[in-house]
Chain A
Amino acid sequence: MPIQYYIALASCLFCIGIVGVLVRRNAIIIFMCIELMLNAVNLLLVAFSKMYHGGAALSNATTTAGVDGQLFVFFIMVVAAAEVSVGLAVIVMMYRNVHSVDVNFLNRLKN
Chain B
Amino acid sequence: MNAIILSAIWGVVLMFCSVLIKNKGVYRHIAALGLLVILAGNIHETYHGSFFNIDTHEMLRFSRFGLFFNTILLAATLLYVLLSGRDVEKAGGYVAEYFTLIFFVLCGASILTSFNTLLMLFIGIEILSIPLYILTGSDKRNLRSNEAALKYFLMGAFSTGILLMGIALVYGGTGSFMLEVPRSAIMGGYKGVSFLEVTGLLFLLVAMSFKVSAAPFHFWTPDVYDGAPSVFTSFMATIVKAAAFAAFLKLFEARVGDTSAAVDWKLLLSIIIVSTLLIGNVTAVFQQSVKRMLAYSSIAQAGFMLFAVFSLNDVAKEGLLLYATAYSLATIGVFAVLIKMKDVTFEGFNGLARKNPVLAATTTICLLSLAGIPLTAGFFAKFSMLSAVIKTGTYTWLVVVAVLFAAVSAYYYFRVIQAMYFKEGDAQTEEVTGGFKVLLIAVAALVILFGVQPQALLNWFYF
Chain A interface residues toward B at CB < 8 A: 3, 7, 10, 14, 17-18, 21, 27, 30-31, 34, 37-38, 40-41, 44-45, 48, 51-52, 55-56, 65-66, 68-69, 71-72, 75-76, 79, 82-83, 86-87, 89-91, 93-94, 97-98, 103, 105-106, 108-110
Q: Which residues of A contact B164 (CB under 8 A)?
A: 37-38, 41, 76
B141 to A: closest C-beta gap in Å: 7
B346 contacts A by Cβ under 8 Å: no
- CB contact list, B135-185 vs A, under 8 A: 137, 140-141, 143-144, 146-151, 153-154, 157-158, 160-162, 164-165, 167-169, 171-172, 175-177
Of A68, A87, A108, the residue contacting B157 (CB under 8 A) is: A87
A17-B161, A83-B160, A90-B137 given; A41·B150 CB < 8 A: no
Q: Which residues of A contact B151 (CB under 8 A)?
A: 106, 109
CB pair A75–B122 under 8 Å, yes or no, is yes
CB pair A97–B175 under 8 Å, yes or no, is no
Residue of B nearest to A30 (CB): B154
B87 to A: closest C-beta gap in Å: 21
Chain B interface residues toward A at CB < 8 A: 119, 122-123, 126, 130, 133-134, 137, 140-141, 143-144, 146-151, 153-154, 157-158, 160-162, 164-165, 167-169, 171-172, 175-177, 187-188, 196, 222-223, 226-227
Of B146, B149, B150, B172, the residue contacting A48 (CB under 8 A) is: B172
User: Once the chains are docked, how many angstroms separate the CA of A110 from the CA of B187?
Assistant: 50
Most buried by B among A45, A48, A109: A109
Of B154, B157, B187, the residue contacting A65 (CB under 8 A) is: B187
CB pair A7–B172 under 8 Å, yes or no, is yes
CB pair A48–B171 under 8 Å, yes or no, is yes
Residue of B nearest to A44 (CB): B168
Main secondary structure of the interface of A (DSSP, over half): helix
CB pair A106–B119 under 8 Å, yes or no, is no
CB pair A79–B126 under 8 Å, yes or no, is yes
B110 to A: closest C-beta gap in Å: 18
User: Once the chains are docked, how many angstroms separate the CA of A97 from the CA of B122?
Assistant: 33
Most buried by A among B144, B150, B168: B168
A93-B149, A94-B146, A109-B223 given; A86·B172 CB < 8 A: no
CB pair A106–B147 under 8 Å, yes or no, is yes
User: Once the chains are docked, how many angstroms separate the CA of A27 from the CA of B122?
Assistant: 24
CB pair A93–B168 under 8 Å, yes or no, is no
Q: Which residues of A contact B134 (CB under 8 A)?
A: 86, 89
Of A48, A71, A108, the residue contacting B143 (CB under 8 A) is: A108
Q: Which residues of A contact B187 (CB under 8 A)?
A: 52, 55-56, 65
CB pair A44–B175 under 8 Å, yes or no, is no
Other than A3-B172, A97-B141, give 18 A-B pairs with Cβ distance below 8 A. Answer: A37-B158, A52-B175, A66-B175, A72-B171, A76-B122, A79-B123, A82-B130, A83-B126, A83-B157, A83-B160, A86-B130, A86-B134, A90-B137, A90-B149, A94-B149, A94-B150, A106-B147, A109-B223
User: Once the chains are docked, how many angstroms separate the CA of A25 from the CA of B161?
Assistant: 19
Residue of A nearest to B161 (CB): A37
Residue of B nearest to A101 (CB): B150
Residue of B nearest to A82 (CB): B130
User: Once the chains are docked, how many angstroms separate the CA of A65 from the CA of B177?
Assistant: 12
CB pair A109–B227 under 8 Å, yes or no, is yes
User: Once the chains are docked, how many angstroms separate the CA of A42 from the CA of B143?
Assistant: 35
